[in-house]
Structure 1
Amino acid sequence: MVFNLKLKISALVVTFNRKDELIKTIKSLRFNGFQECDIFVINNNSNDGTQELIESIFPNLSLINLPENIASAGGFAKGLEISFKKGYDWCFLCNDDSRPKKGCLESMISALNSCSDHKLAFLKVANLNPNGEALLLKWKGIGVQYSIPISDKLIKTDLITFDGCMISSELITKIGYCDPEFFMGVYEYDYCLRAKDAGYSCYVLPNGLLEDGKLGSISGTPPWRQYYNTRNLLWLGINRKSFMIIKGWLIRELKYTYAIIFFGDRKLERLHFKFRAVRDALLNRRGRTYDPSKY
């Protein structure tokens, strides 16, 4: 895989009911060199006027309005499919509440050109912790966070998240898109593991050039979201026949269940969702089994 400054790169944003944040993200992408025609927004059936507002402000942008909410896993899968079929070499992914800072795209292209690993398939700009350090992930059956100082040093890793990440079309040719049946949560783990199985590499650029709004973390994790995290990780362990994943899942769930019982709100609802998550993983029930808008 040979990199050059003439790479054809698209940008992909998945959104739901955050039109004001989405506008900031699109403007940031344009400021970093993306043309409107190279930006794809997957609108997960927003009902806050997202479609009308975006079409009026950015008429040349590719806005894909879905008839139902297929969440982040489905949205990114749909966007990657569109980007790949249109012939882009790489696709830069970000959430609707995060945006690249000045120089982000240039730093990523420079990193691609300086990397000697011809199996590089993921390149992510690291998110930052509250202390301004770069956040990375390592794989121990679950994703475990650790922090390092900001730098321009390219770091090989075994796990990334999609926010602020570029994915190569060569990888898509080999393993396809991320699995929409996860709906939300764990699909990034699965995609990284599939890439590793195929011999591809993940790298992180810890330069701090990604702004992360973290709006999905405000007011804690809702019970329905815990359902998907619990179900999907257990399903992944079972599907891959991985003792390490199932062990990691069990340790995490014991900690979360303890926290729910002694410190959490809506205890019975959260525990009920946990029970249903385990049941559905064992029964191989996937996709959108519970609609977030109803909870």
Structure 2
Amino acid sequence: MAANVQPEFETVAAVIVTRNRRENLRHCLETLLAQTYPLSAVFVVDNSSTDGTAEMVKGEFSPAIYHRLPDNVGSGGGYRTGLGLAFEEGASWLWAIDDEVVLEPDVLERMMARVAQPHRVADILLPAEFDPQTGRTRVHQAWYGPLIHRDVVAAIGLPMEEFFFWAADSEFFGRARSTGKFKILRAPDIVVTHDKRNPDVLEAKRHPSRLYYQTRNTIYIRRHIQRSPYKTVRSLVRVALGRAAKVIFSREPRKLQKTVMIFRGALDGLRGRLGKTVEIG
């Protein structure tokens, strides 16, 4: 890790991936561009939105660099593209932000003070996510505002676009940890808010296709990356069977579709079949 690094000399480029969440994105960008620590660049990667996202970003947030993808490549492909752009821009730190995240003005300043005090003490910093719906605050290996040093990307590469949706973040952080070269610092006292109250977004998250990708990618990681028979079997029981049972005994609509998607995801995860195999709802 680098020595004698002062926070004021460390550049940070932010990356947001979005699709058809214009109002969430607007709120996220408003809080992002109000940060007390200056950003060298803000990249908005748009997964082919159809809700006027492009016009909103270009018309209201001119400092942001808008990058539209011709097809929806999911969060995996979106963050692969966005972090690649930030890396090529030359930023010392890459800040990955979900479009539902809302930030306090001093969040980045506090994060930078934590990782460079005055020497770099971590290569990845994971802030805590506050969920207003549940009142819970937890630290996740997710795109809820992790700060990633460019040395990590230089060493292990970018997120896997093959996951399409779900788990590209946890796989990326697991890959960094497995090298034994990088320190991941959890910061439960540095909190970002995950605003999931948009009713259209909540409805989309209930779509059966989401269960397919969640199940497939979780089992793929256990079977093909961690190569653990025990964790694979445990995931089949807890993730596939447990999730299917929860759906069957719930009052949710489309139970049959959801159950089929769960077991299809489990099978494809075992077989190592990745990519955009199911249209996302």
Q: Same fold (TM over 0.5)?
A: yes
Which of 151, 160, 167 is matched with 1:186 structurally? 167
> Cα distance, 1:129 vs. partner?
4.4
* Aligned counterpart, 1:262: 249
> Cα distance, 1:102 vs. partner?
2.2
Residues 1:136 and 2:123 aligned together: no
* Aligned counterpart, 2:268: 280
* Aligned counterpart, 2:127: 125
* Aligned counterpart, 1:29: 32
Residues matched between the structures, number: 270
The 3 A distance-change label for structure 1 pair 212 and 8 is: same
RMSD of aligned Cα (Å)? 2.2
* Aligned counterpart, 2:147: 166
CA distance in 2, matches of 1:17, 1:278: 28
User: Which stretch shifts more, 80-89 or 91-100?
Assistant: 91-100
The 3 A distance-change label for structure 1 pair 223 and 280 is: same
Equivalences for 1:44-193 in 2 at 5 Å? 44-114=47-117, 118=121, 120-130=122-132, 132=135, 134-137=137-140, 160-193=141-174
Contact 1:182-1:232 at 8 Å conserved across structures? yes
Task: Give the TM-score normalised by the residue count of structure 2.
Answer: 0.88
User: Moved runs in structure 1, 4+ residues, more than 4 A?
Assistant: 34-37, 115-118, 129-133
The 3 A distance-change label for structure 1 pair 208 and 132 is: farther
CA distance in 1, matches of 2:223, 2:143: 23
* Aligned counterpart, 2:231: 245
Contact 1:10-1:88 at 8 Å conserved across structures? yes
* Aligned counterpart, 1:151: none
Secondary structure of 1:206's aligned partner: strand
> What are the ranges of 5 or more consecutive residues in structure 1 without an aligned counterpart?
138-159
The 3 A distance-change label for structure 1 pair 116 and 86 is: closer
CA distance in 1, matches of 2:76, 2:197: 18
> Cα distance, 1:179 vs. partner?
0.5
The 3 A distance-change label for structure 1 pair 249 and 273 is: same
User: Which stretch shifts more, 251-260 or 162-171?
Assistant: 251-260
One-letter amino acid of the counterpart of residue 48, structure 1: D
* Aligned counterpart, 1:157: none
Task: Give the TM-score normalised by the residue count of structure 1.
Answer: 0.84
Contact 1:43-1:66 at 8 Å conserved across structures? yes
The 3 A distance-change label for structure 1 pair 90 and 122 is: same
The 3 A distance-change label for structure 1 pair 125 and 164 is: same
